[in-house]
Structure formats: structure tokens, C-alpha cells
Structure 1
Amino acid sequence: MRLISFILPLLMVLSFSTNSVAASHPFSDVGDDFWAKDEINYLYQNGIIKGYEDGTFRPNHTVTRSQAATMISGALKLDLENRPAPPFVDIREDDPDYNVIAALADEGIITDRDGEFTPNAPLTRGQMAAIFKRAFQLEGHSGHEFSDIREGHSFYDEIQALAANNIVKGYAEDNTYRPNDSMSRAQFSAFLARVLDDSYQPANGELEIHHLNVGQGDSTLILTPNGKTILIDAGTQSAGQKVVYYLKQAGVSSIDKLIITHAHADHVGGAVEVMKNFDVSLVLDSGIPHTTQTYLNYLMYIDDHDIPFEVAAIGGSINLDPALTIQIVNSGMPGDRLNDGSVALHLTYNEFTYLITGDAEEKSEHRIVEQFQVESDVLRVGHHGSRTSTTPYFIKNVLPKVAIISYGEDNRYGHPHPEVLELLTAVGVERVYGTAGGDVVLVSNGEDFEVSGGNLIRDETPKPPPEDEVMYPININTADFETLQYITGVGPTIAQRIIDYRTIHGSFTSIEEIKNVSGIGDVSFERMKDEITVG
């Protein structure tokens, strides 16, 4: 009773409350997880922004031309005294920003619009480019053409100068710049910080996702293009030191987000060891508690060391890198068991997409598909490849090209289950990797991606067109190893199994008999039946 009376209040406090990180800036509406928090703080620390009297910054409000002028003036540290009157009919000497506008006009940084400055009008992205180019003497041509900005556009040279200096990237989904769109105060702050300090510029680097070999458990490290770190789960308690060693070898010095998908020991067990070795800015949890000592130790460590803790909210986002969209597509809901409450994330990096679902099972997989678009290039397969996850309805909506399964070699559960591997092949997954053979590392530049390491459980990568056209239907009794791979759904692994089967059992007597080959089920057979014959 004494233990229970201690556990329950602790679970209630930690599972349903939020701690906020103390920030250097004073703005009550710029939280630790706000995407431009670092840039806003940088500008505040350098005396460029002050915010409002009520202690807010109002980051999502539209930035006006007058506000932009004030920030530019502060960044340039302009002398505001003894400037000639600005040439704008709508700016009077008693206006609060008169001296700032006069100084920027005198420097040739701002110009009139038909004799007016229109100080309260929203600043557009095109106007921002023009002001930045003049204020900071930016030059260059990026070599990248935006689909909505052609040569001859009024802001073409200015936008190209910003792109050449890695200040702007445009919108990845349609390769536009959108010069007529107004800007928020946060967006303007982010661009201004990039001009003043290139450490805030969007990384031209790569996204890395490391799936650690922690035995029968899960631990995934995400290194964002701008150098932020996300650790999803930490394996069992005995795997904690392995996780710590791996992170240190990868150059990790702190963790921006530690995400514990759910409270089972093979996901949360190593978390305390990780928190002992790294500063953690925020722990994100499913909010579904467990009464094991392992989970209790994890909560107690968070509480004792005042580590910020939040419950993941379905539909929320993790905003660490402006190049990435990371959406929370599942978390704990009333009535969920631990597995179905797993925190699941869908990540988008330009053209590349990735989905990780913890141990989410059929109930939550259905919930995910019903609420979100989760088609993905790569799927970190749920629940170690158990048949309780990766259901047909789910996988037919995700349609990954590559799947990665975290499991321990010769585990007592038989993971990954054969029917899961068959289903992955049936929906067109080309390669399936496992962590039982080592750490699996995925690297993407936002367009292409590469996967290396681990053990290749299945490789169904389509073969290139043959020099001499293959004649269909292919005789599965006589076709060689290479020719068999021109059958839909047949890669090197399945081709060898077909050969092994006919060596042991003799010739196939019907095309339906091919379903006796491991990895070929009803779905696979329907895709290949018109391409094969037995004689």
C-alpha cells in the first residue's frame, strides 16, 4: 500500500502536467518548443527586439513595415540623431518610429511607395528581400530558380541574393518563394538572425536516423540537418550504456527531445542512464502510466532533476528544425493499453518521408490512418515486426519503399513474424532491414535516401530492364536465379527459395503451388500469376 500510495500521485503529477524550460528571453508566448525560439532569444540578447509591455512577443502576428524597420535599425546599430526628414507624406515628426524611419531612408534602405511608407501595412516576403539586400549589402545568385519568381520579376535579384547567402530556401512542397505573402514576427526574426549569425542558417546538410542495435528493444536517434537531436526510446535497462556510448560516438552532447513512446521496459529501461549522461531539454511521454519499478525509476529521476516533461498530443508538432515537419500522429488516449498509446511520429524532409510508431497495434494503427496522411518512404515497423502490428489496412496506406525492424537475434517471440514480412513484400516494400545484425543508419538529403548496416532481411529491389527482353510467362520450373527476379514481387531472397523448393520437392505441378514457398502468399500470388507458368 505504501508503494501504491506513492506511485499514483507521482504518475498523476508527471503524466498530466507540463514544465517549461527557463529561457533567457522574457516572452511568455515563446515556449521552449517554439520553432524560432533560439533566433528570437538571440535578437533579444543583442538588444534588437524588446516585445510588448505585457511580456509577450506575439510571434505569430504579422510584422508591419514599421516593426521591421525598427528591428533592422537595431541590428545595424544606426545613429538615429540628426537625420534629414524622410520623404514620406504619411510619416510625421511626432510618430513613435519617426527617427528610425528617417535613419533607414537616409541610408537608402527603405524607399517610398507612391510617396508613402505605410508603416502599419504588413511586410511581404518580397519587400523583406529588398530591404535585407540593401541593409546588409547582400549579393550573389543561388543558381536555384523558384517556380513563381522568374528573371524580370521586380524582386528577382533581391530574392536570389538571399538564397545565395542561405537566408531563404522557399517552400519545399511546390518550390515557391511566395513574394506577396505577408510575414509573421517570428519569420522575420528568423531571417534576420540568419543574416546576422550564420549559425542560424538552414543547414545544407543531411538528415540522419540511427536505429540502434539494442537487442529485443527500441532506440532511435534522429540528427536533424541543423544539428538538433531527438532520441526516441532507450532500450532496456541493460542497453542504457550501449545507447550512451553510441550517442557519444555520434558526437551528441545534449538531447533536445527525449521521446519515450510508451512505458514498457524495452523502450524506457535505458532512459535513466541516458539522462545521467546528457542534458535533456524536454521529455515527451505517451501519458499512459505503468506501475513497474523501471517506469517508476524513470519518473522519479525526471522529478528529482527537474527535467521538463510533457505528454505528447495527437496532432501536435516537434519544431526543432525549420527544414523538418515532425507531426505527432499517435499518443495515449483514454482506454488505451500501453502499446496502443505509443507516441508515433511522421517526419517530412522536403521530398523524403518517414514514419515511426513504437509498439502501436491494430487499434492505434487504424486511428493513425483515419486521421493523418502517413504514406512514407521508410517505415520503422511497429512492435518489432509482431503480427499484432503492421496490419493490412495500415500498411496499404503507408506503402513504404523500405522497412526497418528493431528486434533481437533469436528472440523468444519469433520476431519478426513471417506473415508481416510477407505483407511487406506484397505491398511493394523493396528492402527490409533488421537491427539484429547491427545498427541501421538512414541518411537523406531531402530528396534521396540511403540505408546501411544491420541485416538485410529481405531484398526485393526491382531489377533493371534486361538487355534481352524476358519472355513471359516465366517457367518457374526451369528459370534461373536471375530470370526468376523478373517476376513481380520476387527478389534475390524469394528467387533462391523458389530454387530451393523445387530442388527439395521436385517440379511445381501448378502455378498455385508457388504459394508453398515461404514469403509468397495469396496477395503476392495475385500479382504474379499472369507472369508465371509450370511448363
Structure 2
Amino acid sequence: MKIFKTILFVLLAVCQTALFAQVKVGDTFSAWSEGYLDIHHINSGRGESLFAILPDGTTLMIDAGEIAPSPRTTEPRPDESRSAGEWIARYLQQMMRPLPEKKIDYLLLTHFHADHMGDVKLARERSKKGDYLLSGITEVGDRIPFRKIVDRNWPHYNWPHQLTGDQNMQNYIRFVKWQVTNGAVAEQFEVGSDRQFTLLYRAEQYPGFEIRNIAANGWVWTGVGDNRHNLFPPMDLIDHDELPGENQCSAAIRISYGKFDYFHGGDIVNAGATGSWRDIETPAGWVTGPVEVCKANHHASHDAMGEPFLKAVRPRVIVMQPWSASHPDHRVLQRMMDQSVYPGERDIFSTNLMEATKTVLGRGTESMKSRQGHVVIRVQPGGDYFTVFILDDSAESYAIKSIHGPYECR
């Protein structure tokens, strides 16, 4: 019986591969299917958000930001008739159609900035469930059940200094407390662990799948077992104004599926010289190693995607999620494209680019594979190949704008 099930699964995978090969530009993006890994970089124009359906149907969301519009920020997508949190929730509900339950198994909040978690000043209403306002993550969680919430400093929110004085943090803490009271689990991100985010339904069918926690709060995985080491000096030796910021404390993970590897580091930065405790990005890259896809750190700002990091991870595909006129920095874009930094082909995709940014970057943007739209990575069963789909973000039809690949995993 076991052999029969294995043969059936292989035949099913072959049929699915043939089916997806027929997808073309203009079609509605096809639903996730068993064995595939889908990673959605959602473009709301108001910050970062990622949603993944893992090979057995386990779901993962990373961040759901919402910032105020301004002349220096990208336009809301699809439009401003709904909040970013509501648009993100509707996107998730659409993509979860093939799943038996419409829920988010894991929420990972990489750090406590509004473009990743939401801003209460933008809240259009208060939750009817608990004592919190709806913006970003809290609005998504109000519309779709969460099973586990993981962030960098639960439950005390006091490191490297007291965080509870901020209105956004107060609102988020009330939200997490309500979630825990009503059945969800909350945990602090465990650097080095490969057990905090696991397949929940048919893990035995996918032994080549792993999510490894790489870095957070100055701690970085050593690459051996669950061991980690601390890069930060004791906080009592640092002046308050010099304490590490939220970006330096960002949680970073590597998703692996067979030969496929993906890095997501939130807003992790190289804010100091290589070897300095302020440079978290470089040691995180060293221990991560080569990946097929890398979500650009800190929106490809001036203090991220440094040369040592790029040499370490050598991504075939880089996905940027800009929301400001300063994203990406022109020197960072040049560095990501530079063949002398690391050899080989690489494709760069962006969910957004402001017209002012395009003017500053000039011809540098012409080599990008995409400059507008949701960017979806679809990994074939087993992890040997992946394809990049760009989806129309101007409506909820999710029509395919372009298809790139398939790329062979290394």
C-alpha cells in the first residue's frame, strides 16, 4: 500500500507539473496544490507582507505593514477604498481557497515597525472582538484566525529597552493577549531552532523541508545543531542612544525545500563595518549560505544587501518590497547586479517602484524583470525547480502579468 501511495504521488506531481506548464500571461493565477511551496510577496503599497503555503498545506504569514500615505510613498494597491490590512486579508482568503481551513498556522512578526505591523493612527475601526484597533497585522488577525504568533520579544517587550510606551506596541500587545486568551499560542523567536515552524499535516511526506531560524536580537545561528552566538555587547555598557534599533534586531529565517533555499531577514542591516556588532547582515549571510531566492533586506535601503552578504548568499532571484522613494538605494541596486560581487545570472523583481525612484535609478531599472505587482515564487514538488509569477495588483482578479523560469535549483 505504501509503494502504491508513493507511485500515485509521483504521477500526481508529474500531472501537476504539466498542468502548470500550460499557464500563460493573462490567466488567473492557479490555486496552490499539494506538494508545491508557494511564497507570495504581497504588494499593498503600504509596507511589507509575505504569505506562504507550505508543501502540506501549512500556512505562514510574515509581517503585514500599514504606513501613512505621503508624496514619498507608493500608491495603495489595489486602491485606497480599503485598508492595507483588509486588502492583505482578502488576498490571503483568495489564495487559501484550496485549503480545508481558512487560517494562518504561523504568524512571524520580524520586528516592531509600522511598515511591518501596522499603525494605529491609520485604524479605521476598533475590533468587535477585543480591545485593539485594526491596522496591519491586527486587522488580518481579526479577519483570519491565527494559531501561533511568533515575534522577537514576547512576552515582556522590554529589550533592548522598554517597548511598551509606543502606541503601536500597546495595541499589538493587547491583540496578542486577546489571541492567546482565545486559543492562539504566542512564542518568542528561538534563534537556531528548526522546530518553531514545522509542517503540521503531512510532514513525513516532505523530509527535505525545513525552516531554520537564523538571527534575531543580536543572536545568530552557528550552523551547528541549535547552537547560536551573541554578537551584541552587554546592553548596560551601551549608551541608550546607541542601543541597537529594531532593524538590527529583526528576525531572519531560511526556508529550505529539497535543493531550494529562500532567505527572509525582515529589515536586517549592515549598520557598521564588517566584523562590527552593528553588522548583523554579514554573519547571518555566512551561516545561511547560497540561496535560490532572497527577499531584499530593509527594502534594499542604503544600509542593507552589503557585498559580504551578497557573496555569501549569491541569490539567483532577489525580490524587493519598496514603499518609499528611497527604495532601493541606487548603489545597492548596482551592487546586487554587479557580476564582480558574485558571478552568475540573477533576476531582480520589485513589487513597487515610484516614478521619482525610476528617474533617479535611470537605466538601472530596465534590467529588472518586474517593477510592479505581487511577486509569487512557486516551487515544484521536491524542490528541484521554481517559477516566478508576477500578478496584477490593481484588482483582485490576480491575473498573471509575466512568468519567469522555470529556474533550476542548485
Q: TM-score, normalising length from structure 1?
A: 0.46
Is the 1:314–1:330 contact (alpha carbons within 8 Å) kept by the matching residues of 2?
A: yes
Q: Pick from 72, 80, 104: which aligns with 1:255?
A: 104
Shift of residue 162 of structure 1? 6.1
Q: Pick from 320, 325, 329: which aligns with 2:214?
A: 329
Q: Which whole-Å CA distance do the structure 2 matches of 1:328 and 1:442 have between them?
A: 20
Q: Say yes or no: does 1:417 pair with 2:266.
A: no
Q: Give % identity.
A: 28
Q: Pick from 272, 281, 291: which aligns with 1:365?
A: 281
Shift of residue 305 of structure 1? 3.2
Shift of residue 422 of structure 1? 1.1
Q: Pick from 367, 386, 395: which aligns with 1:449?
A: 386
Is the 1:402–1:430 contact (alpha carbons within 8 Å) kept by the matching residues of 2?
A: yes
Secondary structure (helix, strand or coil) at the match of 1:274 reads: helix
1:503-522 counterparts in 2 under 5 A?
Answer: none
Secondary structure (helix, strand or coil) at the match of 2:64 reads: coil
Is the 1:400–1:429 contact (alpha carbons within 8 Å) kept by the matching residues of 2?
A: no
Q: Which whole-Å CA distance do the structure 2 matches of 1:273 and 1:392 have between them?
A: 37
1:306-321 counterparts in 2 under 5 A?
Answer: 306=180, 307-317=184-194, 318-320=197-199
Q: Hey, what does 2:21 align to over in structure 1?
A: none
Q: Which whole-Å CA distance do the structure 2 matches of 1:265 and 1:373 have between them?
A: 27
Secondary structure (helix, strand or coil) at the match of 1:347 reads: strand
Q: 1:313-372, CA deviations, whole angstroms, 9 ceiling, x for partnerless residues?
A: 1111221263221101011236542101111110111111111110000121123134x2
Secondary structure (helix, strand or coil) at the match of 1:305 reads: helix
Q: Which whole-Å CA distance do the structure 2 matches of 1:366 and 1:296 have between them?
A: 32
Q: Pick from 139, 149, 158: which aligns with 1:273?
A: 139
Q: Which whole-Å CA distance do the structure 2 matches of 1:438 and 1:235 have between them?
A: 17
Q: Hey, what does 1:241 align to over in structure 2?
A: 86
Structure 1's 381 and 162: CA in aligned 2 closer, same or farther, altered over 3 A?
same
Look up the equivalent residue of 1:385 and give its one-letter code. Answer: A
Secondary structure (helix, strand or coil) at the match of 1:245 reads: helix
Q: Which whole-Å CA distance do the structure 1 matches of 2:95 and 2:146 have between them?
A: 16
More strand as a share of residues:
2
Q: Pick from 348, 351, 365: which aligns with 1:435?
A: 351
Is the 1:216–1:407 contact (alpha carbons within 8 Å) kept by the matching residues of 2?
A: no
Look up the equivalent residue of 2:117 and give its one-letter code. Answer: V
Shift of residue 424 of structure 1? 1.2
Q: 1:394-415, CA deviations, whole angstroms, 9 ceiling, x for partnerless residues?
A: 010000011000012xx24x11
Secondary structure (helix, strand or coil) at the match of 2:328 reads: coil
Q: Pick from 291, 305, 313: which aligns with 2:179?
A: 305
Q: Hey, what does 2:148 align to over in structure 1?
A: 282
Is the 1:265–1:295 contact (alpha carbons within 8 Å) kept by the matching residues of 2?
A: no
Q: Hey, what does 1:45 align to over in structure 2?
A: none
Structure 2: runs of 5 or more not aligned: 11-32, 68-82, 119-135, 154-158, 219-231, 236-243, 271-278, 353-371, 393-403, 406-410
Q: 1:285-332, CA deviations, whole angstroms, 9 ceiling, x for partnerless residues?
A: 011563421122111111123232111111112212632211010112
Q: Hey, what does 2:358 align to over in structure 1?
A: none
Q: Say yes or no: does 1:384 pair with 2:299.
A: yes
Is the 1:285–1:310 contact (alpha carbons within 8 Å) kept by the matching residues of 2?
A: yes
Q: Hey, what does 2:261 align to over in structure 1?
A: 353
Secondary structure (helix, strand or coil) at the match of 1:214 reads: coil
Q: Which whole-Å CA distance do the structure 1 matches of 2:52 and 2:301 have between them?
A: 24
Shift of residue 387 of structure 1? 1.6
Is the 1:346–1:374 contact (alpha carbons within 8 Å) kept by the matching residues of 2?
A: no
Structure 1's 220 and 429: CA in aligned 2 closer, same or farther, altered over 3 A?
farther
Structure 1: runs of 5 or more not aligned: 1-137, 140-159, 168-202, 456-460, 463-535
1:176-191 counterparts in 2 under 5 A?
Answer: none
Q: 1:254-277, CA deviations, whole angstroms, 9 ceiling, x for partnerless residues?
A: 000000000000001111001111
Structure 1's 358 and 429: CA in aligned 2 closer, same or farther, altered over 3 A?
farther
Is the 2:248–2:268 contact (alpha carbons within 8 Å) kept by the matching residues of 1?
A: yes
Q: Hey, what does 1:343 align to over in structure 2?
A: 251
Shift of residue 251 of structure 1? 2.0
Shift of residue 165 of structure 1? 5.7
Superposition CA RMSD, Å: 2.5
- More relative contact order in 1 or in 2 (CA 8 Å, sep 6+)? 2
Q: 1:231-272, CA deviations, whole angstroms, 9 ceiling, x for partnerless residues?
A: 000111641111111111112610000000000000011110
Shift of residue 228 of structure 1? 0.9
Q: Say yes or no: does 1:403 pair with 2:282.
A: no
Q: Which whole-Å CA distance do the structure 2 matches of 1:215 and 1:385 have between them?
A: 16
Look up the equivalent residue of 2:90 and give its one-letter code. Answer: Y
Structure 1's 429 and 418: CA in aligned 2 closer, same or farther, altered over 3 A?
farther
Look up the equivalent residue of 2:322 and give its one-letter code. Answer: Y
Look up the equivalent residue of 1:356 and give its one-letter code. Answer: H
More helix as a share of residues:
1
